[in-house]
A and B are shown apart, each in its own frame.
Chain A
């Protein structure tokens, strides 16, 4: 699978491999406290944010827990 930024595809695949392994072997088994993919994610993110700006993709105004806004409780 490709990234929205052509230059980011290799980083994306490396991150995805790390994440999918952690997700299946740790997170789903209730051991999700650590995150071995942080560095990979940071590098990948920098590339993607640049690509989004260059392609003028309208994804501004991210409302996400990582941006300091508390996610509301899911109603269901």
Chain B
């Protein structure tokens, strides 16, 4: 399916992946991208409870830009919500994507827009045809976690670190599931 590595890096303005996953889909790029656009809902990502498109447009080079808002329900432990002082357990993620149908490349960047005073999780996914096997698709998935302060922030970092790797694989499985379950009428 792929390989993963974790490495440390400087925090700051430069992009330094803390988690890097290389995953492969045994489907052509077009099939994977259609599934990526219809990824939610799926049984592997039950925490995503809402998806909205906020902006969408095609640029002068024919690339499709989208801005989406994902509503996620993590089911944070009661102790965490008590410390956060909120009964709201919904968190929100902002996701930008660009699809280039000529170059056959889809890039997604997402970041949380809530809990940012404690932690930020930035993810970047790039889907491209496998350079040697065009009937396959390569996914490069990078994630950076930046923690502000200590205490609860560190707890959230360790919570997210333990789930980022499994989530990369869940995301891969989600795309595979969407591909298997799509029918001829696109919905």
A residues near B (Cβ < 8 Å) are 1-5, 8, 12, 15-17, 19-21, 23-25, 27-30, 32-33, 35, 41, 44-45, 48, 52, 57-59, 62, 64-67, 71, 74, 76
Contacts and interface: CB of A to CB of B under 8 A. Distances in A.
Given A32-B58, A59-B54, A64 B67 contact: yes
A37 to B, nearest CB: 9
Interface stretch (B18-26, B94-102, B154-162): B94-102
A48 to B, nearest CB: 5
A1 B54 contact: no
B4 interface: no
* B contact patch SS: strand
B34 A17 contact: no
B69 A28 contact: no
Contacts, number: 100
Interface stretch (B35-43, B74-82, B163-171): B35-43
A64 B54 CA distance: 10
Given A12-B53, A23-B34, A30-B62, 6 more contacts: A3-B50, A21-B186, A23-B186, A35-B58, A59-B69, A74-B98
Given A58-B114, A65-B57, A4 B69 contact: yes
A28 B52 contact: no
Contact of A66 (B33, B52, B57, B114): B57
A74 B128 CA distance: 15
A1 B41 contact: yes
A40 to B, nearest CB: 11
Contacts of B102: 30
A28 B50 contact: no
16 contacts: A1-B40, A4-B52, A8-B52, A19-B53, A20-B37, A23-B34, A23-B186, A25-B186, A28-B30, A30-B102, A35-B58, A41-B53, A59-B69, A62-B67, A71-B59, A74-B107
